[in-house]
């Protein structure tokens, strides 16, 4: 059975009396331990799907199920949901509290959920994401972009969730730092059997990380592809072809 | 003589912990071509671009054995001479339209401000020229955009408005600092086509600053690769695959590729020697 099921999802925002349909009838199913990608341009609705899963966007139609159980279509997901599903955001400059130390950022989910052994768990989490214990009492402004994103990943893993929602987790990072964070995510996924639902505008990043993907445009599904289809250039839609053309010309050293 | 000559450029910031050299001994010349400057954050690529316009704030200090644009010594020029060059003959497009457009001024006012005040053009004439500029950057609903405030535009539209604004005075040199990084790939392609047409048709010189090696290799004629304030390699863009410097090779190597291997991406093992001359 699929771990995450989204069926005919509609998300509609109302701004200044105007209705904006950000997601229109999107369906997808993510198997346990699968890494699933959502690609498309800004405004295509890919991030909105992640937000809708977390109860951060107004779902106006359709259903979301976790392991067969429907999640509350309203906004409040509750604590049990937080222990299963966590999110990592695009911009680690904006997603970490600027006046909380790394220690406080990582301890907070434990405190909220009444989990003991805080010191041990915080140190283990830092080690997991490749940060020295000396980072524990630093503030976000004392960290580089890559270090901040490691802290954001560590925070998402504090409650030992089974699903990570990744919203452009490396698009704010330099190429070499992106490689480190992608490697970190792949390692953690293998070690912990995590399921990823990952959003990116970069087809190469999705190809590297994901088994299957949905290409989106204007809130709709353009097509669903397996990784092999992407590598072989087997797609049916011209839109996918144009995305592919724009992101597939990295020169190879020594070629 | 080259349009722009830069020889042994350095930018130094005095800090309480001692001087920090953001740019160290950079030399290049530019003609009517597309020159890419690539590097990671902190490599000095933006400071190199800003030095040409002398837009480095104190305590930053610019030094060079030669910094000349069209025969004018930029380091000896008075502030008044610099103002005459900036915008008119050397223009700069910044990365983020959100921070570079005036948020409380309609786009039309912003586009015509220079024409009205500097060139003493009539309101009507300036308006027509601004509309033509928006048209040139492929904006379809020109009338709406002229009336809009920056927050009412998408990122791609905002970026095009900035490019239109820089192009109204028809500069000889455009310094574009990550002009397409905030844009989607298809919009990016349109903006690049606009810049490309300007180089080809008007013979403008272009300095294209970016962290995106793949993009620069597709779009530019020549590439400077910067690391910790120094140019470590200069090569023709089409030869990027034959890069010799381990830093350039490393930067290319750590990018994921469609259909590439699934294992860990190679990291970039930085060699302390790369930072030395």
- pLDDT value, residue A87: 94
Mean predicted confidence (pLDDT) in A97-122: 95
pLDDT digits (tens, 9 = 90+) for B86-96: 888 999 988 77
Q: What ipTM was predicted for this assembly? A: 0.81
- pLDDT value, residue B182: 66
Mean predicted confidence (pLDDT) in B15-35: 92
Mutate to test the interface with A, among B193, B255, B264, B274 (most CBs of A within 10 A): B255
pTM over 0.90: no
Q: Mind telling me how many Å the CA of B165 is from chain A's nearest CA?
A: 24
Q: How many CB atoms lie within 10 A of CB A228?
A: 11
Q: Which of B92, B103, B100 is nearest to B51 (CA)?
A: B92
Residues 6+ apart with CB under 8 A from A25: A8, A9, A10, A62, A220, A221
- pLDDT value, residue A250: 60
Binary contact (B41, A244; C-beta < 8 A): no
3-state secondary structure string across A193-252: CCEEEEEECCHHHHHHHCCEEEEEECCEEEEEEEHHHHHCCCCCCHHHHHHHHHCCCCCC
Output A245 or B24, whichever has higher pLDDT: B24
Q: Is the dihedral angle over the CA atoms A4, A83, A95, A155 positive or is it negative?
A: negative
pLDDT digits (tens, 9 = 90+) for A58-74: 999 999 999 999 987 67
- B97 and B155 Cβ atoms separated by less than 8 Å: yes
Candidate from B185, B240, B251 with C-beta closest to A247: B185
Q: Mind telling me how many Å the CA of B166 is from chain A's nearest CA?
A: 25
Q: What is the DSSP letter of A71?
A: P
Binary contact (B266, A205; C-beta < 8 A): no
Alpha helices in chain B (DSSP H): 45-52, 79-85, 97-100, 107-117, 123-136, 142-147, 155-167, 185-202, 213-219, 246-253
B266 CB neighbours in chain A (<8 A) are 179
Mean predicted confidence (pLDDT) in A128-150: 91
Mean predicted confidence (pLDDT) in A153-171: 93
Q: How many CB atoms lie within 10 A of CB A14?
A: 10
d(CA B129, CA B123): 10
Q: How many CA atoms lie within 13 A of B125 on its CB side?
A: 8
pLDDT digits (tens, 9 = 90+) for B231-257: 999 999 888 888 889 999 998 888 888
d(CA B127, CA B121): 9
- The crossing angle, in degrees rounded to 10, of helices A175-192 and B246-253 is 40
Q: Which two tokens stand for residue A1?
A: 């059975």
pLDDT exceeds cutoff 90 at A253: no
Of the listed ranges A136-145, A241-250, B1-10, B196-205, the one predicted with least confidence: A241-250
- pLDDT value, residue B277: 61
d(CA A228, CA B60): 51
What share of chain B in percent tops pLDDT 90? 43
Binary contact (B267, A43; C-beta < 8 A): no
- B225 and A251 Cβ atoms separated by less than 8 Å: no
pLDDT exceeds cutoff 70 at A177: yes
A251 CB neighbours in chain B (<8 A) are 213-214, 217, 240-241, 252
Candidate from B41, B184, B259 with C-beta closest to A42: B184
pLDDT band at residue B40, thresholds of 50, 70 and 90? confident
d(CA A227, CA A33): 15
pLDDT exceeds cutoff 70 at B175: yes
- pLDDT value, residue B271: 78
B217 CB neighbours in chain A (<8 A) are 249, 251
Mean predicted confidence (pLDDT) in A220-238: 92
A18 touches B: beta carbon within 8 Å: no
A255 touches B: beta carbon within 8 Å: yes
pLDDT digits (tens, 9 = 90+) for A190-207: 999 999 999 998 889 999
pLDDT exceeds cutoff 80 at A17: no
d(CA B97, CA B155): 7
Mean predicted confidence (pLDDT) in A25-29: 96
Q: Which of B36, B40, B60 is nearest to B50 (CA)?
A: B60
pLDDT digits (tens, 9 = 90+) for B111-127: 998 888 888 889 999 99
- A157 and A150 Cβ atoms separated by less than 8 Å: no
- pLDDT value, residue A255: 42
pLDDT exceeds cutoff 60 at A248: no
B252 CB neighbours in chain A (<8 A) are 250-253
How does the average pLDDT of chain B come out, rounded? 88
pLDDT exceeds cutoff 90 at A16: no
Q: Is the dihedral angle over the CA atoms A125, A173, A224, A85 positive or is it negative?
A: positive
Of the listed ranges A171-180, B100-109, B223-232, the one predicted with least confidence: A171-180
pLDDT band at residue A251, thresholds of 50, 70 and 90? low
Candidate from A176, A178, A253 with C-beta closest to B241: A253
């Amino acid at each position: 059975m699929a771990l995450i099921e989204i069926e005919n999802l509609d998300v509609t925002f109302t701004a200044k009396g105007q209705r904006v349909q950000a997601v229109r009838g999107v369906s997808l199913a993510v198997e346990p331990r699968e890494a699933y990608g959502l690609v498309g341009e800004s405004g295509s609705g890919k991030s909105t799907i992640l937000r809708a899963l977390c109860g951060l966007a107004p779902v106006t139609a359709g259903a979301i199920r976790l392991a067969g159980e429907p999640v509350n279509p309203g906004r409040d997901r509750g604590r049990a949901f937080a222990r299963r599903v966590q999110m990592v955001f695009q911009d680690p400059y904006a997603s970490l509290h600027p006046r909380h130390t790394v220690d406080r950022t990582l301890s907070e989910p434990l405190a909220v959920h009444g989990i003991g052994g805080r010191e041990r768990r915080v140190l283990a989490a830092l080690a997991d994401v490749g940060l020295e214990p000396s980072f524990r009492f630093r503030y976000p402004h004392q960290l580089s972009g890559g270090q901040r994103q490691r802290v954001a990943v560590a925070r998402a893993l504090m409650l030992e969730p089974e699903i990570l929602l990744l919203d452009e987790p490396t698009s704010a990072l330099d190429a070499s730092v992106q490689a480190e964070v992608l490697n970190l995510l792949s390692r953690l996924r293998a070690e912990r059997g995590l399921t990823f639902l990952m959003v990116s505008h970069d087809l190469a990043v999705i190809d590297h990380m994901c088994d299957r993907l949905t290409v989106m445009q204007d809130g709709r599904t353009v097509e669903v592809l397996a990784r092999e289809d992407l590598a072989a250039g087997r797609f049916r839609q011209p839109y996918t072809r144009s995305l592919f053309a724009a992101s597939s010309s990295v020169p190879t050293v020594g070629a | 003589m080259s349009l722009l000559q830069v020889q042994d450029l350095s930018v130094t910031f005095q800090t309480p912990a001692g001087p920090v050299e953001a740019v160290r001994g950079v030399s290049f010349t530019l003609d009517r071509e597309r020159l890419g400057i690539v590097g990671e954050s902190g490599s000095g690529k933006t400071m190199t671009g800003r030095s040409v316009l002398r837009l480095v704030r104190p305590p930053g200090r610019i030094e060079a054995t030669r910094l000349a644009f069209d025969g004018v010594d930029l380091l000896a020029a008075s502030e008044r001479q610099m103002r005459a060059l900036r915008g008119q003959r050397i223009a700069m497009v910044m990365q983020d339209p959100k921070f570079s457009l005036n948020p409380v001024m309609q786009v039309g006012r912003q586009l015509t401000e220079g024409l009205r005040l500097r060139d003493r053009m009539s309101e009507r004439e300036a308006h027509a020229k601004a509309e033509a500029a928006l048209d040139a950057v492929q904006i379809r609903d020109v009338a709406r955009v002229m009336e809009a405030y920056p927050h009412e535009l998408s990122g791609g539209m905002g970026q095009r408005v900035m490019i239109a604004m820089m192009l109204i005075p028809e500069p000889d040199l455009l310094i574009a600092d990550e002009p397409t990084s905030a844009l989607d790939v298809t919009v990016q392609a349109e903006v690049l086509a606009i810049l490309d047409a300007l180089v080809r048709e008007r013979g403008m010189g272009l300095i294209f600053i970016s962290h995106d090696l793949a993009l620069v290799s597709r779009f530019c004629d020549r590439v400077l690769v910067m690391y910790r304030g120094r140019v470590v390699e200069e090569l023709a863009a089409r030869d990027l695959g034959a890069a010799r410097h381990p830093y350039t090779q490393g930067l290319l190597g750590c990018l994921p590729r469609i259909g590439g291997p699934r294992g860990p991406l190679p990291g970039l093992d930085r060699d302390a020697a790369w930072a030395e001359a």
